[in-house]
Chain A
């Protein structure tokens, strides 16, 4: 579609261009002869250019033609004058050059031309530059400047008579006819194209349907490819297919059922409609059968019914409207807090008004204050009496309850006493038995305890008796003591007591000191042990030193022993040197002998032979050894005995097993 549009646009553009060309031709025909007619060929050349520039050029050209519609006399004028036609047109002198030389017209840069409305830079100057020099007509810059058309074709006809104009007109008419024919042909072509387009559209539709089918097929194939790629098994595929088929069948069935249902419904509707019609007819018949008055009544009633129905409809509508309005209002109310508050206040107001009304009614019902007072007094009295009677009743009830509870307790006690005499006896007996048992168990211990107590008591008694006797003695003394003496004694006692306390404290101190001293003693004893050990050691050392002293005191002896030792050592030395000498001499001698023998040996031929032979022997022995080793290794390598043995054994076993099998088969 896009393309088609574009093509259509192109076509329109082309047409417009052609129209322009024609107009220009016509204008050119009207123009004076000397005026340089706008060259059609130049335009034709420009047809190859781009569309946008073409359009612009067309505009420019038009403006150019407009300018060139001036009288011919002005066209022939020099450029400088014609330039004055343009108000404020201070053209640069370069643009005034004659066209042949004006290879490049500075179209876009003419200063001062901006004052022309609808004129672009490089407006063709009427006269010399009346030829429509367009931007697109400029020489192809890439291939030099040779493409420029000057529009001036040498000397033209000088005599312009009737025949000339006739010829001119004819030629123009011819051109017009050719043009019209061309246009007709084009129109025909367009028509054809249109029809073709319709046919194409149809075909496109059919092709679109085909494409849809193809796409469906493609989707199927894609799915198949997917399945192949994902290695889905045939069974799964079949399962899917079956499922899909079942689904499709089900849907088709449902569609069928829906269709049938729909038909049934339609039939039912039709039947109902028929029934209604029948009923109406019956009703009409009935009405017709009725008397005239009734008929009139019926008609009026029906009319009123209809009216009422209409009214009902109207009212219903109103109700609906009101409902909607109410909803709107409620919405509004819910949205605005102030209105809600107002509603609440209204509610309270109503409640208060109701209360007020009630109170007013009460007020009306009330009598004078005195009566009221009396009434109240009476009421109070009645209430008091009632309260007193109730109190009395309460006390009575309380007394009764007490009595009843007491009765119950008595009854309980009686019953317990009656029942539990035997049990109590039994319990008592049991308790006694337990006591006896306990007593028996703890008899020995208690006996011991009691004996101990007894002995203690005896001792106590003895000590007390002694004390008593002593005291008796003292008492006898005391009896003799006078009061003064007593006082003295008391003082003495006090002093003694203090002394006792002191002495006790000192005793305590002494005890601690003794302990400390005991510890010290222990330490000292330990030290003593150590010291004694040390002492013994020291004694030993002293004894040894003393003995040593004895030896060392005898310096001469020591010296003598030392000298003896020295002497002995010297003797040893001398003897050893002698020994050394002897050894060396002997060694020399032996060496000499050895050398001599060696020389002798060397001289001996047999020795040499022997040595050679020995060497040879050694060599041979070595070779022998190597060969032996080689042989051993080779023999080891080629020792097939074990393998052979193994093989023979296996063969024998196999034979045996075969024989056994055969025998077993035979048997």
Chain B
């Protein structure tokens, strides 16, 4: 049971479909809900987190805002390709506070996790924190 920042575990965000200087992608995995990554408009948006080694992941906890539909993929190879679908989820709309959801990944190890935000409640979505539980 590790509920710390992913960055300290050697995880990295290797891909984001949007980039804002003031809100870099590192803010996703720094374990702080005050900092966030924000999309720059349009859907779908996605980001990929890479782990240093294949890791067993059971649940993903996400603090986001304005995300409507989320899809998660994973792979076990070193390269960021050949993802296989894991799960998808419809999130509720929350006004004035973060959406905090725990998503179970059905076990299994992974080196890359791909989060695809296919729809949002607004033009822009933000991801504040992503944490895993073994």
Contact = CB atoms under 8 A, between A and B. Distances in A.
Nearest to B15: A582
B81 A578 contact: no
B48 to A, nearest CB: 6
For the complex of A and B, 5 pairs with smallest distance between CB atoms:
A582-B80, A582-B14, A585-B81, A582-B15, A585-B80
B128 interface: no
Interface residues of B, number: 11
B82 A579 contact: no
Interface of A: 575, 578-579, 581-583, 585-586, 588-589
A588 B81 contact: yes
A575 B10 CA distance: 12
Contacts of B50: 578, 582
B65 to A, nearest CB: 24
Given A582-B48, A582-B50, A589 B15 contact: no
Contacts of B80: 581-582, 585-586
B12 A575 contact: yes
B12 A581 contact: no
A583 B48 CA distance: 10
Nearest to A571: B12
Given A578-B50, A582-B48, A589-B81, 13 more contacts: A578-B14, A579-B14, A579-B15, A582-B50, A582-B79, A582-B80, A585-B79, A586-B15, A586-B48, A586-B81, A588-B81, A589-B82, A589-B83
Most buried by A among B14, B48, B82, B112: B14
A301 B48 CA distance: 189
**SS of A interface (majority):** helix
Contacts of A589: 81-83
B107 to A, nearest CB: 24
Interface in B79-105: 79-83
A427 B79 CA distance: 140
16 contacts: A575-B12, A575-B14, A578-B14, A578-B50, A579-B14, A581-B79, A582-B14, A582-B48, A582-B80, A582-B112, A583-B15, A585-B80, A585-B81, A586-B15, A586-B48, A586-B81
Contacts of A581: 14, 79-80
A591 B14 CA distance: 19
Nearest to A588: B81
A585 B50 CA distance: 14
A406 to B, nearest CB: 133
A582 B112 CA distance: 10
Interface string B100-129: 000000000000100000000000000000
Nearest to B77: A585
Q: In this complex, which of A575, A578, A581, A585 has the most chain B Cβ atoms within 10 angstroms of its Cβ?
A: A585
B47 to A, nearest CB: 10
A588 B81 CA distance: 9
Contacts of B15: 579, 582-583, 586
Nearest to B16: A579
A581 B81 CA distance: 10
A283 B31 CA distance: 190
A578 B12 contact: yes
A579 B79 CA distance: 11
A585 B79 CA distance: 7
Contacts of B48: 582, 586
A581 B50 CA distance: 12
Nearest to B82: A589
Contacts of A582: 14-15, 48, 50, 79-80, 112
